[in-house]
Amino acid sequence: MNAFKWKHFETHIILMAVRWYLRYSLSYRDIVELLKERRVQVSHTTIMRWVHQFGPELDKRIRRYLKPTTDSYRVDETYIKVKGKWTYLYRAVDSKGKTVDFMLSSSRDVKAAKRFFRKALSSPHNQTPRVITVDKNPAYPLALQQLKDEREIPQETSIRQTKYLNNIVEQDHRFIKKITNPMMGFKSFQTADYTLMGIEAIHMIRKEQVKAPHVAAFSIADFISDLFHFAA
């Protein structure tokens, strides 16, 4: 399927605008100004629609190229403001700092934790965890025990509640927050989810978690262009 069918702008312009927004601390209006320097006139609402469409599409397309993670998960959640209220971005990295998975949730409880772990376990690039390190959130041990009882993770999987071991995931939050903080919150849960999918996808590409067999000299721009079957 051609994701760019009926678009009024060239493919490379759309991908460039989306990449800038998801990679750098820029507003939609900042990108309008940058595109003007390239003699491209586009409204900030059009760029916003591109981000909401192609953020999830980018996340979907990189999944088949993700390199395997290790079997040691470090799990934590950070806060994202939606409609003036805090929501929870569940995130996990492995022992080398590679992203395991992420999930935006309106709640922070056992059900949300189970949904997140199930999402991570269903991703083909992730190994079955040997050890899962979490913070002092009491929902995590309960959720993991339920998953053990339901035979979705092995009984041998170790659960550690040790905050200092989670420094690696807390440090990794910083990139995401650096991009989202200037956004001053999202207008809806759905648009927040769509945008975060794109931000996390770019972050995984930055961390070289993807195999890029068709790109000779790896770069974010080249890899994304290749993903969408467009030669930069």
Q: How confident is the model at residue 218 (pLDDT cuts 50, 70, 90)?
A: low
Q: Could you list the residue range(s) of the whole structural domain that residue 57 is in?
A: 11-65+210-227
Q: What is the pLDDT of residues 78-113, one digit of tens each?
A: 999 999 999 999 999 999 999 999 999 999 999 999
In a domain, 51, yes or no: yes
- For 10-14, 136-140, 168-172, 214-218, which range has the lowest pLDDT when averaged over its residues? 214-218
In a domain, 122, yes or no: yes
- Tell me, yes or no, whether 127 and 148 share the same domain: yes
- Tell me, yes or no, whether 58 and 150 share the same domain: no
- Tell me, yes or no, whether 128 and 170 share the same domain: yes
> What pLDDT shows up at residue 232?
43
Backbone angles phi, psi at 99, to 5 degrees: -65, 125
Six token digits for residue 48: 């916003």
In a domain, 193, yes or no: no
CB 93 within 8 A of CB 84: no
In a domain, 16, yes or no: yes
Beta bridge partners of 160: 133
In a domain, 200, yes or no: no
- For 64-73, 185-194, 201-210, 223-232, which range has the lowest pLDDT when averaged over its residues? 223-232
pLDDT above 90 as % of the chain: 78
Kindly report the CA angle at 133 between 172 and 167, in degrees rounded to 5?
Answer: 35
- Tell me, yes or no, whether 44 and 79 share the same domain: no
- Tell me, yes or no, whether 102 and 41 share the same domain: no
- For 2-11, 166-175, 220-229, which range has the lowest pLDDT when averaged over its residues? 2-11
- Tell me, yes or no, whether 76 and 61 share the same domain: no
Mean pLDDT of the chain: 91
> What pLDDT shows up at residue 214?
56
- Tell me, yes or no, whether 80 and 54 share the same domain: no
Give the number of other CB atoms < 10 A from CB of residue 189: 16
Q: E strands, the chain, where?
A: 72-82, 85-94, 99-105, 131-134, 158-161
- For 24-28, 160-164, 193-197, which range has the lowest pLDDT when averaged over its residues? 160-164
- Tell me, yes or no, whether 84 and 174 share the same domain: yes
In a domain, 191, yes or no: no
> What pLDDT shows up at residue 231?
45
Total number of domains in the chain: 2
In a domain, 218, yes or no: yes
Query: Distances in Å between the alpha carbon of 54 and those of 42, 92, 125?
Result: 17, 23, 22
- Tell me, yes or no, whether 91 and 53 share the same domain: no
> H or E stretch including 86?
strand 85-94
> Who wins on pLDDT, 163 or 39?
39
> H or E stretch including 180?
helix 167-180
Bin 64: left if φ > 0, else alpha if -120 < ψ < 50, else beta: alpha
Please report where in the chains the tokens 């601390």 appear, as a residue: 25
Q: What distance lies between CA 162 and its chain's CA centroid?
A: 24
Q: Please compute the mean of the pLDDT values over residues 118-147 and round it to a whole number.
A: 95
Domain of 85: which CATH number? 3.30.420.10
In a domain, 109, yes or no: yes
Start-to-end CA span in the chain (Å): 19
> What pLDDT shows up at residue 225?
87
Q: What is the pLDDT of residues 22-39, one digit of tens each?
A: 999 999 999 999 999 999
- Tell me, yes or no, whether 54 and 154 share the same domain: no
- Tell me, yes or no, whether 58 and 78 share the same domain: no
Q: Is the pLDDT of residue 160 over 70?
A: yes
- Tell me, yes or no, whether 16 and 85 share the same domain: no
Among residues 228, 177, 232, which one has the least CA distance to residue 50? 228
Burial class (CB in 10 A: 0-12, 13-18, 19+), 157: middle
